[in-house]
Structure 1
């Protein structure tokens, strides 16, 4: 793990480096996305996570272009929507994402959900062709469990660079994280503070008081020290700034253990084994 400025860089299994802390735009309305992303970039974020499903790729691209920051200094992720797992549909969706962003290349493209029909294998083969085409630097998956990944290992060629899954103190996902690590797959954490549900937990509040940090900063620091790639989202400039200010303190081993012990296998989002949502 190398460090550029304050934010550690994690090297993916194909040699591409990704900032460990990023800015997420999930549930940020398109009309607010450009300014929110510009605020994040001004604060020092260099990793932006969007998706076709979020409906705000275009505004992310506008912010990247207007930021004045060298394109190669910003890591941009987007995702293949659930309705486009057929190979031709996946290829078109990728082209549409590149067109919407209008920033040249994409740094990481993820399959958003595996779905239950098994079509994710064909979609992954299409994504392997995208990688070979050179306009995306790395490909990965999101919300994949071990059995999904084992099928990819058996039936395809490229090992995903990233698996983006729900992780927070109430859903620590240590087994899945260990599996990813064993196969040289970086783990990204979505819903890192459980949509705020963990912030009033007594254990986290106690650690926040001792460190002089906010509960959100404590939880984000827990992710960083575990090795998760994390991308909190907010449209509030002060919170965007606070979420970035997590590299001037460390949690003790006891703090880390106490937070991880809060795990109760509680999801804020759907279980990937049953989720089949396709946006209309």
Structure 2
């Protein structure tokens, strides 16, 4: 497993996203993922599955210090009066003690950024998380949040795949020693994975298109990816991306697909995204 080093944190480069997984299916898949070698599990308050994720972790029998667990606080709970209580509820639901990483899930234009970042730091000081970070922040928001935060912000979790460039976010990650954790890293499937460029590279390496895309991401110095799947057979495939390398020409060809600027996750409360 490759690790992303960011402001003192070591983040496994491939993790399991658990969005839309619920109940026994979620618990079983998390346990199976850990058995397959996953050491990075991502959940959130909004997913409604933190308790299921925690049960899967405990069922796996893995030692707590071998796992990197992230959860996220929904954007309506990131004010100074709410964030710590929401974080405490998240930690209690997961049931494994202090989480490794606590994130603000989305910025909220109606809540001062300073209030949110100070509350995030308070949650860390109270022992609810080892590290803190943000998700779905623009590069300018990353600059502002890093200037406010007492503790390092170790990542920005954003949509990232070959159909969307995140040059501005990657630049901010470099400035602030942060990781980019990619959600929807295979672009939610069909259009990206069937693209001739991806198909051609996959054939050259005798790998699946999803493996090619994940490899392209984790070959970037500050990028981790959290593909999600409800299919147990995909777990091993998504993790099996560390034994081959793309050529410079292949990396460049895949990166050029970012000119499409095809954003998949863009709710009405999203910020004004970076243009690059």
- 2:269 aligned with 1:269, yes or no? no
Deviations 1:238-257 (A, max 9, x none): 11110011111110010000
Q: Identify the residue that residue 204 of structure 1 maps to in structure 2.
A: 198
Deviations 1:43-99 (A, max 9, x none): 000100000101100011011111111011011000011111221211110110011
- Partner Cα distance (1:64, 1:268) in 2: 30
Relative to 1, partners in 2 of residues 1:12 and 1:154: Cα closer, same or farther, differing over 3 Å?
Answer: closer
SS in 2 for 1:194: coil
Which of 124, 128, 153 is the matching residue for 1:131? 124
Q: Identify the residue that residue 3 of structure 1 maps to in structure 2.
A: none
- Partner Cα distance (2:144, 2:254) in 1: 33
Do the aligned residues in 1 keep the contact of 2:79 with 2:111 (CA within 8 Å)?
no
Which of 237, 241, 260 is the matching residue for 2:232? 237
Relative to 1, partners in 2 of residues 1:260 and 1:176: Cα closer, same or farther, differing over 3 Å?
Answer: same
Do the aligned residues in 2 keep the contact of 1:116 with 1:274 (CA within 8 Å)?
no
- Partner Cα distance (2:228, 2:149) in 1: 33
- Partner Cα distance (1:9, 1:273) in 2: 29
- Partner Cα distance (2:9, 2:23) in 1: 29
- 2:157 aligned with 1:159, yes or no? no
1:153 is displaced (CA, Å) by 3.5
- Partner Cα distance (2:82, 2:142) in 1: 22
1:206 is displaced (CA, Å) by 0.4
Do the aligned residues in 2 keep the contact of 1:204 with 1:219 (CA within 8 Å)?
yes
Number of aligned residues: 268
Q: Identify the residue that residue 149 of structure 1 maps to in structure 2.
A: 142
Deviations 1:12-70 (A, max 9, x none): 20x22111111110122334210111111110001000001011000110111111110
Structure 1: stretches of 5+ with no match in the other structure: 1-6, 276-280
- Partner Cα distance (1:92, 1:118) in 2: 16
Do the aligned residues in 2 keep the contact of 1:115 with 1:274 (CA within 8 Å)?
no
Do the aligned residues in 1 keep the contact of 2:50 with 2:94 (CA within 8 Å)?
yes
Which of 170, 185, 189 is the matching residue for 1:192? 185
Q: Identify the residue that residue 216 of structure 2 maps to in structure 1.
A: 222
Relative to 1, partners in 2 of residues 1:105 and 1:261: Cα closer, same or farther, differing over 3 Å?
Answer: same
Matches within 5 A, 1:1-280: 7-13=1-7, 15-196=8-189, 197-227=191-221, 228-263=223-258, 264-270=260-266, 272-273=270-271
CA RMSD of aligned residues (A): 1.5
Structure 2: stretches of 5+ with no match in the other structure: none
Do the aligned residues in 2 keep the contact of 1:30 with 1:55 (CA within 8 Å)?
no
- Partner Cα distance (1:50, 1:267) in 2: 22
SS in 2 for 1:53: coil
SS in 1 for 2:101: strand
Do the aligned residues in 1 keep the contact of 2:137 with 2:158 (CA within 8 Å)?
yes
- Partner Cα distance (2:147, 2:11) in 1: 27
* TM-score of the two chains, using structure 1 as the length reference: 0.92
- Partner Cα distance (2:250, 2:209) in 1: 13
* TM-score of the two chains, using structure 2 as the length reference: 0.93
